[in-house]
């Protein structure tokens, strides 16, 4: 068949075009090699330029050239098809080999991604199995096993951190000694050489621990998934006498990790107020609002002790992992995607401690997930999902378009965000990494500020992707600073409350009026007095449901 294709297609044909200039009859002859690889418009432009052809034949020449290439190509395809059929009839080509080749080609085509697969993948099977088990009596055993794996990985990470700290301290002492001898017996070249050696030593040690962690997590993941599949199969067999032993909870077998100072991890005291509100003019929808004084990353951290409250939080997250009631979190980050520092670094470390037993298209680690996030699979912007839906940038016109064409797509603009999905964090499934700049620290932002419009777009994504609980930083900052006075906090909270209320009223038209939970978080360093002032402000802005007290008649 390849010989036939070469015989029919890989040959030269002459394109002839006749035209008149005044009384002169001219003829253009151009040899073309088929199949033609060049774009017709590009080839037409080259002919016009190289032969200095008059402009009045431009349109007619392009049509004639397109018809010639299309006609000759179709004839080649017909001759190739006839030759292939003759080869099959004559027995020159093995029919079974041809069928397997076609089946392989069809399976590898891009359009297969748009079709529903006939057989579910391993990840889909495991998702169904896990969903069944977590809603069965085996759920506690499942969580205890996950906790044991988490503790062992946490201990490995702790050992790594200790070893890296000792290495850095030792290298610091060596560098101090060298700096004291600088200019006496040592030169700048000696200092640079030692710094390079220190860097290589750190890299070698980090690579060693990274490989060890990858190997440990891979082994744990395989063991866990095999155990889950086996347990699910045993549950289908009611006559299995060993089933009760498999799912029996034995607390003495489960490990607790102790902090380096010898004390079990204790949560810092939280302040919390809850409200039930109704929004809507005619068709009212009930929502739950919570105001919390807490660290945003507390929703991501796994607690190392295995108390009942901790287990309930983890159970709730696991129960809703493959459901239509997901939990989301808004993290305020800088505009650099390919670097992580500050809160992004801490968030990334939380993702590394948790175990990735569930495969999503986006990895659970921040440094990897931004390369693969595809909640919007049709988006062609590299390395991230931008949610810039109706963000209010309507005044730029062609100037904005040229800026967008020239912008660096490794950085994002204030108000844009990327999304990561997780199965290994304590209380959330989805993280919205919202880009903000230093403007959020000023006291003069408005409802059209990019950060506020970013919150609107995040709520819209929540409506379209079954995220029913979302945690938002009320003051649009994670940490307090000196310029954030009491009037500043009250003004910012009022702005965010009012904007979120308006966005929630819009949500009724986006999702048909589904009840949701919105959690407003304030930094832990805020005073109790300030917290209760914010708590008193919330029911003045939202319509809080009044309580009804029932008393019996005597």
Q: Terminal CA-to-CA distance of the chain, rounded, Å?
A: 99
Given a contact cutoff of 8 angstroms between Cβ atoms, the answer to whether 196 and 174 are in contact is no
Please state the rounded mean pLDDT for residues 78-101. 83
pLDDT band at 158 (very low <50, low <70, confident <90, very high): confident
- Predicted local distance difference test score (pLDDT) of residue 423: 78
The CB density around residue 516, as the number of other CB atoms within 10 Å, is 21
Q: What are 281-335's pLDDT values in tens digits?
A: 777 888 899 999 988 888 887 665 545 445 666 777 778 788 888 899 999 988 8
Q: Which fold has domain 272-360+409-542?
A: 3.40.220
Which run of H or of E encompasses 272?
strand 271-279
> Strand runs (DSSP E) across 300-416, as ranges?
326-333
Q: Which residue, 64, 15, 6, 62, is CA-closest to 35?
A: 6
Please state the rounded mean pLDDT for residues 402-418. 70
What is the rounded distance in angstroms from the CA atom of residue 456 to the CA atom of residue 390? 9
Please state the rounded mean pLDDT for residues 8-19. 77
pLDDT band at 259 (very low <50, low <70, confident <90, very high): very low
pLDDT band at 261 (very low <50, low <70, confident <90, very high): very low
Give me the count of residues in the chain.
554
Q: Where are the domains of the chain?
A: 11-114, 126-247, 272-360+409-542
pLDDT band at 366 (very low <50, low <70, confident <90, very high): very low
Residue 216 clears pLDDT 80, i.e. is over it: yes
What is the rounded distance in angstroms from the CA atom of residue 397 to the CA atom of residue 399? 5
User: What are the tokens at 210?
Assistant: 């990274």
Give the contacts of 519 (CB within 8 A, at least 6 positions apart): 289, 290, 291, 292, 469, 470, 471, 472
- Predicted local distance difference test score (pLDDT) of residue 390: 35
pLDDT band at 180 (very low <50, low <70, confident <90, very high): confident
Q: Which residue, 73, 52, 86, is CA-closest to 10?
A: 73
Tell me the pLDDT of the chain averaged across its residues.
Answer: 76
Residue 218 clears pLDDT 60, i.e. is over it: yes
- Predicted local distance difference test score (pLDDT) of residue 318: 78
pLDDT band at 456 (very low <50, low <70, confident <90, very high): very high
Q: In what order do the strands lie in the sheet containing 517-522? A: 271-279, 285-293, 517-522, 467-473, 326-333, 430-435, 417-421
């Amino acid at each position: 068949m390849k010989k036939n294709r070469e015989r029919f297609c890989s040959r030269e044909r002459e394109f002839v075009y006749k035209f008149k200039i005044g009384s002169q009859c001219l003829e253009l002859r151009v040899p073309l090699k088929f199949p033609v690889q060049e774009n017709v418009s590009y080839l037409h432009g080259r002919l016009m330029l190289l032969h200095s052809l008059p402009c009045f034949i431009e349109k007619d020449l392009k049509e004639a050239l397109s018809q010639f290439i299309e006609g000759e190509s179709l004839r080649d395809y017909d001759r190739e098809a006839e030759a292939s059929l003759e080869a099959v009839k004559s027995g020159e080509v093995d029919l079974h080999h041809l069928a397997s080749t076609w089946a392989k080609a069809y399976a590898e085509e891009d359009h297969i991604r748009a079709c529903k697969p006939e057989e579910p993948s391993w990840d889909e099977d495991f998702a169904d199995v896990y969903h069944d088990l977590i809603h069965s009596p085996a759920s506690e055993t499942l969580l205890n096993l996950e906790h044991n794996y988490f503790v062992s990985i946490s201990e490995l990470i702790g050992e790594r951190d200790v070893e890296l700290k000792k290495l850095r301290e030792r290298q610091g002492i060596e560098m101090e000694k060298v700096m004291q001898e600088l200019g006496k017996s040592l030169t700048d070249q000696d200092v640079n050489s030692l710094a390079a050696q220190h860097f290589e030593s750190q890299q070698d040690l980090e690579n060693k621990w990274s490989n060890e962690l990858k190997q440990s997590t891979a082994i744990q993941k395989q063991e866990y998934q095999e155990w889950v599949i086996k347990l699910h199969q045993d549950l289908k067999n009611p006559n299995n006498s060993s089933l009760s032993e498999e799912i029996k909870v034995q607390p003495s077998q489960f490990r607790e990790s102790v902090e380096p100072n010898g004390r079990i991890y204790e949560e810092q005291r939280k302040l919390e107020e809850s409200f039930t509100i109704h929004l809507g003019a005619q068709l009212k929808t009930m929502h739950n609002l919570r105001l919390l004084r807490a660290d945003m990353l507390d929703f991501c951290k796994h607690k190392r002790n295995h108390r009942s409250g901790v287990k309930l939080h983890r159970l709730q997250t696991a129960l809703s992992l493959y459901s239509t009631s997901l939990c989301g979190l808004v993290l305020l980050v800088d505009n650099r995607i390919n670097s992580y520092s500050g809160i992004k670094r801490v968030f990334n470390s939380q993702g590394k401690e948790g175990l990735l037993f569930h495969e999503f298209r986006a990895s659970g680690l921040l440094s990897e997930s931004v390369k693969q996030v595809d909640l919007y699979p049709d988006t062609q912007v590299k390395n991230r999902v931008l949610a810039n839906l109706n963000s209010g940038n309507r005044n730029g016109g062609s100037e904005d378009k040229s800026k967008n064409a020239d912008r660096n797509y490794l950085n994002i603009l204030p108000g844009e965000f990327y999304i990561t999905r997780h199965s290994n964090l304590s209380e959330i499934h989805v993280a919205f990494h919202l880009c903000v700049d230093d403007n959020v620290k000023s006291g003069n932002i408005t409802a059209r500020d990019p950060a506020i419009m970013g919150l609107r777009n995040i709520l819209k994504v929540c409506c379209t992707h079954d995220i029913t609980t979302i945690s938002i930083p009320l003051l649009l900052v994670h940490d307090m600073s000196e310029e954030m006075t009491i009037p500043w906090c009250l003004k910012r909270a009022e702005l965010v409350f009012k904007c979120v209320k308006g966005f929630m009223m819009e949500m009724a038209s986006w999702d048909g009026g589904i009840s949701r939970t919105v959690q407003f978080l304030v930094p832990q360093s805020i005073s109790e007095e300030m917290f209760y002032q914010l708590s008193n402000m919330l029911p003045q802005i939202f319509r809080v449901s009044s309580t009804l007290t029932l008393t019996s008649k005597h």
